[in-house]
A = this chain, B = another copy of it.
Amino acid sequence: MPSVEEIRSAALRALKAVGVSDRHAETQVSLLLEAELRGTASHGLLRLPRVIDRILSGASNPASEGIQSWRGNALLDVDGDHGLGPVVAMAALDAICGRAAETGVSAAAIRNCDHLGMLAWYAERVASHGQILIALTISEALVHPWGGRRAMLGTNPIAIGVPAEPHPFVFDMATSLVSMGKIHDHANRGIPIPSGWALDQDGNPTTDAVAAKDGAIAPFGGAKGYALGLAFELLVASLTGSAIGTEVRGTLDARYPCNKGDVFIVLEPAGGMAAVVTRFMEEIRGSEPSVADAPVRIPGDRAARTRAQRSSQDVPLADEVWKQIQALAEWRPA
């Protein structure tokens, strides 16, 4: 298995080969590698070939950090200018974290930038520096409404970061029952998906991961999860002026400029609350479990444990993905 540094080096070479600057390549690779290190392969290096294909097709503009302008003193408007997701998003986040330190709250309304990747990365960064983050993004229509047959909504994840000691609370989930990344991961590995995850292209239930790629994923939590995902999509589109629903393009293809929206809200916590939050999480971890020997978990604990193990070890990258990245690292334009 390749080491973390071997993967990083190959991925950086692959991006530089298609004209990405050192700094933007570092940002993009750090995001993907962090997903691998946290055990979220669906948002890891698996995504790099598409990032590169999008640059080659002209759908992405890897030189851009987005065009920022303030709508009022606390709301940053960002036209992503088809820049790489983490590059545009980090520039926006830097701006609003600084502003929130003055105003108490600041938000970024981003449209037209590429896929942001794992939102936990942003939440970890902001909360590690002592601020609260709410992050929302939408995607191409992949999820069916509760009681519907067609993919109408994005997987519309939310991430929340809250300062705690010694590590922040970091929570990141899609409002779909699973992410499309996980369905792709099953398809890549040639294994079926559990019943209830998805419908096929005719709107009927399926356990075939390949058929599910052309169908629709279920919302999590039934009618409530559907309502939540819809609310996030409406909120993001309303605030950012992005595309919505079936008009969203460019998060899962290599061809179209991405037109979805992303929202960050950064808030200054009240004094002394990191200790309170920390103590409460400890109380939950120590509370009586429903099954003996299966302790109650805090979201993010497993990712943090995996992260600690993997940072000094090799990453179990799928062979197929590693081969692709090595090939991309050697590729040069004709």
Contact = CB atoms under 8 A, between A and B. Distances in A.
Contact of A148 (B149, B238, B289): B289
B238 A288 contact: no
A128 B58 CA distance: 41
B71 A73 contact: no
Given A241-B270, A245-B280, A271-B241, A104 B104 contact: no
Contacts of A160: 231-232, 234-235
B148 A227 contact: no
Contacts of A150: 287-288
A35 interface: no
A106 B106 CA distance: 8
A164 B231 CA distance: 12
Interface hub of A228, A233, A291 (most chain B Cβ within 10 A)? A228
How many copies of this chain does one complex carry?
2
Interface string A282-300: 0110011111001111110
Interface in A31-87: 70-75
Contacts of A220: 221-222, 224-225
A171 B75 contact: no
A106 B74 contact: yes
B72 A237 contact: no
Interface string A215-250: 000001111111110111111011111001110000
Contact of A237 (B149, B233, B273, B294): B273
A234 to B, nearest CB: 4
B102 A294 contact: no
A224 to B, nearest CB: 5
A103 to B, nearest CB: 4
Contacts of A277: 234, 237-238, 244
A227 B171 contact: yes
Given A149-B289, A227-B299, A265 B268 contact: no
Contacts of A105: 72, 74-75, 105-107, 265
A208 to B, nearest CB: 19
A97 interface: no
A284 B230 contact: yes
A93 interface: no
Given A72-B102, A223-B299, A245-B280, 12 more contacts: A75-B267, A132-B235, A132-B238, A162-B231, A163-B238, A171-B228, A230-B299, A231-B299, A233-B280, A234-B280, A238-B273, A245-B284
8 contacts: A75-B103, A105-B107, A150-B288, A152-B287, A224-B225, A238-B269, A239-B270, A246-B283
Instruction: Give me the 5 closest cross-chain CB pairs, A-B, nearest first.
Output: A75-B104, A221-B221, A72-B104, A241-B270, A227-B299
